[in-house]
Amino acid sequence: MRKIIFASHHKLAEGLRDTFDYITNNVVEVKTINAYISNNPVEEEIVATLKDLDLQKDEVLVFTDMQGGSVNQAFVKYLQYPHFHLIAGVNLPLILELLINLPENYIDSNQITAAIDNAKKQIIYVNDVMNNLQIDEDDE
């Protein structure tokens, strides 16, 4: 079994899932944890989300909003399990690349690292790109 979780402060996780589902037509099931919306501690929400899994055998991919944040830190204790992957600083290109191309078996850490590297390239200051295009056009 594989479980995919988007977890964030407030409603970012829910928004990412909604957008992911819209683009991919619900290609995989994603659970969300929108921390600090209810009075439930985030740790309780995590336990409830993971309750049906055998963490020694099942694979879990968790995407959180930011490293060092309380939501991400609440998942760190689960890194002891062999197929538990925690990815912080999530963006839509990363989610799309990883979740559209999931292998039948366990995901490889190299796949995750490559997807993260590709997702980083999607963070661009468009003003600079456009300014460079104008400079190139002016040179011609």
DSSP H helical segments within 1-108, as ranges?
A: 12-24, 42-50, 70-76, 92-100
Arithmetic mean of pLDDT, 126-138:
82
The angle at the Cα of 136, spanning 134 to 138, to the nearest 5 degrees, equals 70
Taking 80 as the threshold, does the pLDDT of residue 73 lie above it?
Answer: yes
Q: What is the pLDDT of residues 8-37, one digit of tens each?
A: 999 999 999 999 999 999 899 999 999 999
Q: Mean per-residue pLDDT for 56-73?
A: 97
Residues 75-89 pLDDT 10s? 999 999 999 999 999
What tokens were used for 131? 């300014």
